Chain A
Amino acid sequence: MTGAQPRPRWLFLVSPRWLAWHAFAAAAAWGMLWLGDWQFHRAESGNALSWAYTIEWPIFTIFGVIFWAKTIVDEWRRQSAPAAGLLSASALADDGLDLPAGAHTPGLADDEPTDDPELAAYNAYLARLNSPQAPNYRMARNSRPAPR
């Protein structure tokens, strides 16, 4: 860390956007558990097919919780990445989509030092894709001619 950030890292979790996301995740999890419970009662009262859904809904709930947790870990990693060079802009933006190309390179925000040449090459590739000279949608298109 360069110490350029005055606010604590976890503060993003209580921004309106993230609060809305937490609320949605909680509602979705509750809803899926409710559906599982409903299917369980249907299964108990003789609907054999409902046993499958009784198993499925909790699994979807678990996945939803994992997904929600991953979004937080992802953002946390992005915020704790060194705020130098290319990465400085990522701290300013909640979402990399609207940034100019090159400002946001999540692939470079790795915790481990990149002594692995393969990984370094991959990171360099990602940086290249994100550079303004070569927007990656264009590169991706060039790498594969459009069908028809």
Chain B
Amino acid sequence: MRPDVLSLVVRGYRTMAYVTGTMLCVLVFVCIPLQVWGNNAKPADVVGTIHGFLYIIYIVVAFAMTRAVRMKVASPGTIIVLLAGTIPVLTFVVERWVSRRHIAPALAGVAPSEQPVLR
């Protein structure tokens, strides 16, 4: 894996993790309450559909990331990363965990100078 490809895949994964995670939070914490208590199903329909398609992109990018940092396919870590896009807030937690556990070592191993500054 070339370092530029690796960092591109990682960037794609992080972007999708945050976009998908945010959209899911909006869906679960704003739109669904509106649907249940506000009798307005329209936002949930729209955001739900958007989240569905974002999740498709997320799952592809996230899987590419797990391959790029050489996580085992049939491992709990990979499965949790893939499923995180369907559980509210979990994408953010998982993104931090996978960054520390897998991405940072992979980036450090390939190109120490390119290791991003993590907050």
Contacts and interface: CB of A to CB of B under 8 A. Distances in A.
17 contacts: A49-B48, A52-B49, A52-B52, A56-B53, A59-B56, A63-B59, A63-B60, A71-B74, A74-B73, A97-B76, A122-B1, A129-B109, A140-B102, A143-B104, A144-B99, A144-B104, A144-B118
Given A140-B102, A143-B108, 17 more contacts: A49-B48, A49-B49, A52-B53, A56-B53, A56-B56, A63-B56, A63-B63, A67-B63, A97-B76, A107-B70, A118-B3, A118-B110, A122-B1, A125-B109, A137-B101, A143-B105, A144-B118
A144 B73 contact: no
B105 A139 contact: yes
Provide the main secondary structure of the chain B interface. Answer: helix
A92 B63 CA distance: 27
Interface of A: 21, 49, 52-53, 56, 59-60, 63, 67, 70-71, 73-75, 95-97, 106-107, 118, 121-122, 125-126, 129, 136-137, 139-141, 143-144, 147
Provide the main secondary structure of the chain A interface. Answer: helix
A73 B101 CA distance: 24
Contact of A97 (B52, B75, B105, B118): B75
